[in-house]
Each structure stands twice: as structure tokens, then as C-alpha cells.
Amino acid sequence: MRRVPREKWSETHHRLIFSDAIIVEHRIRSVRNVRFLTCAVKDRNE
């Protein structure tokens, strides 16, 4: 494994964590939206 300067490595690492957080939040949000939509459809059908 080639040596990466500490600052560079941590910067990349932070960026990765940040994008992961965005992806996770996006997934949670879309799951909530799906749940909301299914509830709305159920209410309409009943």
C-alpha cells in the first residue's frame, strides 16, 4: 500500500463519509415517501 499524506487521506475519508451520509439520508427519505404514499392510497381505497 502506497503512503498517502495524512491530510490528503483524512480529506478523502471525510468526503466519503459525507457522501455516505447523504445517500443514507436520501434512502430514508424515499422510504418515508413510499410509506406516506401507500398510506394515502389505503385511505383513499377504504
In this prediction the pTM is 0.43
Would you write out the chain's pLDDT as a tens digit for each of its 46 residues? 567 566 666 777 777 778 888 888 888 888 888 888 888 888 877 7
Q: b vs e for 15-32, b when ≥16 Cβ sit within 10 Å of the residue's Cβ?
A: eeeeeeeeeeeeeeeeee
Cell of 4: 498517502
Residue type present at position 12: T
Give the per-residue pLDDT at 44: 79
3-state secondary structure of 3: coil
Distance of alpha carbon 22 from alpha carbon 26, whole angstroms? 6
Cell of 36: 406516506
Domain extents in the chain:
6-44
